Chains A and B, each alone.
Chain A
Amino acid sequence: MQRAKLFDHVILLMGVFIMIGPLVVALMTSSHEAADIHRNGLSILPGGHFVETYQTVLTKQGGFTGKITGLRMMMNSLILGLGFAAGKIILSMLAAYALVYFRFRFATITFWMIFTTLLLPLEVRILPSYEVMNTLHLTNTYTGLIVPLLASATGTFYFRQFFKSIPDELLEAARIDGAGPFKFFIDVIVPLSKTMMAAIFIIMFVYGWNQYLWPTLMTTDESFFTLVRGIKQILLVWVGSNIPDYNEAFALAILAMLPPVMIVMIFQRWFIKGLTESDK
């Protein structure tokens, strides 16, 4: 038993090493000079330019209008991440609830219609999508940035899987108590789904947070720049004429990880308690 436990820790530590190792490397590398990184690649030892690099990244006013600061980009990413994650959870929970807990004529076809959205990624239909956005006058708006990304089945499919695994007895008991669909949803389903909501929130927040192509296409105003776009801007230097500021890209990436990590920390508690709480 003791040996087995030790073995578990070994596996986990290896997992942590493989997953976190590169992040430590990114942090260390960010403290070297750009030319140094270009020559020697990644580094596991700290260099001497930590403070100045991070200072530059946080305070530099970029772009034509000077409106692109680290803070501004972070705020835009946050709006995208939070808006997307919240929207996704609300939409997909409602839809999955209807699909699993209701009997209605078009259930099968509806499910497949939603499901099909998994099969054609945004990148492939990006030009017509842009035209639709223009028709609806949604370019250069946060709505235009967030809402089209919601047209995907991931969340709905996930909640459907979960709802189907909720014991039927719960609904039977609720029926005996005289609970209607709304009451059952709010009083039973939502509390039960806490862990699932936390998981999907983390995933979707990061997804929204990391958007690049769609915001690039959709906005022409620099005040909509996101962090990932800022990072890309640094790395996209025409071959050879200049060295990209690798250090700044790594530094921005490290900073860009903080809010998602905070989200993870916040929802961590739900993860640990999760269903066990309502299982008393």
Chain B
Amino acid sequence: MTHAPSLSPTSAAPTTAAGFFRRFRSAPSEPHFAKRVQFSSPFLPYFFLAPQMAIIFTFFYWPSVQAIQSSFYLEDPFGFGSTFVGISNYTDVLKSTEYLGIARFTAVFTAVVTFFSLAIGLLLAVKADGVIRGNATYKTLLIWVYAIAPPVAGLMGMMLFDQHIGPLVKFVALFGWDMKVGLNYTDTATAMIIVSIWKQIPYNFIFFLSGLQGIPVSVREAALMDCRSGFRRFRTVILPLLAPTAFFLLIINTTYALFDTFGVIDVMVKDKAANNPITLVYKVYMDGFRGNDLGGSSAQSVILMIIVFVLTIFQFRFIERRVHYS
């Protein structure tokens, strides 16, 4: 029970079958993490969960187990030959200094992208929620960008940062920065981070905005009376109420930066990683999808999964404690 303080403990299972529809129990021992009142029913929760679980088992666990299995083999992709190699796919990866370098970059990349896309998304959402004039227009315009097709977003990123004719490269050249995306490690990393953040801002904006809209008017009015300072009002009243959304977004943005940025990276390095920075998932993609090394890439996926899992448990343990629900 150490890793999921947010849910009711298993010991609190229903004791009787009687009154299974309208039965309420309370668990005052867990003030912030669980509902004080809950329904209790032997089969109804399973009924609600069934569709989701069925899909997850068929389309996630079934293929995932196969992927994990192949991490212990070196296998001809067409399925003709395979050699059981134990954990050597794992040791090969972990003792490679290149892999560790990629891991370091991934950590920095994830932290920076997560922080800035959350911060900017939140700032814009709070401001858009606050202003009265032009409120709807701002919202629509800011949400719009999310709809742009990923290959085109990538193409634009590439063209904006083009070594020879990119407008942004020309712009920073005015300040004496000779930016060479695709050639210089730091410059490429910068461009990747900027494009990744840019793509994710609308996502965070939408959820933060919906979170803000979810705060009852009465609460806001009361807050407005209590403290005049906008920033303090935000910090002491609004932010705690937004915390559940923020926690959700923290987790989602971490996985975004880790997993979903590989399209951006592929475009920014022009399909050739060379000596440019890449993330762990891009490495999985290069080895597995492009290089057909099923065993090696599966081992990398499992390593990645373990890292993210540990990170997530950590986040649940230490950050969700501070999140006050209701």
Contact = CB atoms under 8 A, between A and B. Distances in A.
Interface of A: 4-5, 8-9, 11-12, 15-16, 18-20, 22-23, 25-26, 40-42, 90-92, 94-95, 97-121, 123-129, 131-132, 136, 147-148, 150-152, 154, 156-158, 161-162, 164-168, 171-172, 175, 178, 180-181, 195-196, 198-199, 202-203, 206, 209-210, 212, 227-228, 231-232, 235, 246, 249-250, 252-253, 256-257, 260-261, 264-265, 268, 271-272, 274-276, 279
15 contacts: A9-B134, A12-B128, A42-B160, A90-B51, A100-B35, A102-B44, A105-B10, A111-B4, A113-B56, A151-B60, A154-B252, A180-B21, A209-B147, A256-B149, A257-B147
Interface string B31-58: 0000111111110111111011101101
B160 A235 contact: no
Interface stretch (B85-93, B175-183, B210-218): B210-218
A196 B149 CA distance: 23
Contacts of A171: 24, 35, 37
B144 A151 contact: no
Contacts, number: 339
Nearest to A234: B151
The SS class assigned to the A binding surface is: helix
Given A8-B131, A162-B245, 5 more contacts: A19-B145, A104-B41, A106-B10, A108-B7, A162-B244
Interface in B295-326: 297, 301, 304-305, 308-309, 312, 325-326
A264 B140 contact: yes
A261 B288 CA distance: 36
Given A22-B156, A103-B12, A104-B14, A124 B301 contact: yes
B233 interface: no
Contacts of A175: 22, 24, 37
- Which among B52, B142, B218, B255 has the highest number of chain A CB atoms within 10 Å? B52
Interface of B: 1, 3-4, 6-10, 12-14, 21-22, 24-25, 27, 35-42, 44-49, 51-53, 55-56, 58-60, 62-64, 66-67, 120, 123-124, 127-128, 130-131, 133-136, 138-152, 155-156, 159-160, 162, 165-167, 198, 201-203, 206-207, 209-210, 213-218, 230, 241, 244-245, 247-248, 251-252, 255, 259-260, 262, 281, 284-285, 288-289, 294, 297, 301, 304-305, 308-309, 312, 325-326
B64 A128 contact: yes
B149 A104 contact: no
Nearest to A171: B37
A42 B169 CA distance: 12
A156 B52 contact: yes
A120 B308 CA distance: 9
Contacts of A116: 60, 309
B25 A203 contact: no
B7 A162 contact: no
Nearest to B170: A41
Contacts of B160: 22, 42
A102 B13 CA distance: 10
A231 B149 contact: yes
B252 A16 contact: no
A42 B244 contact: no
Nearest to B51: A91
Nearest to A97: B48
A129 B158 CA distance: 31
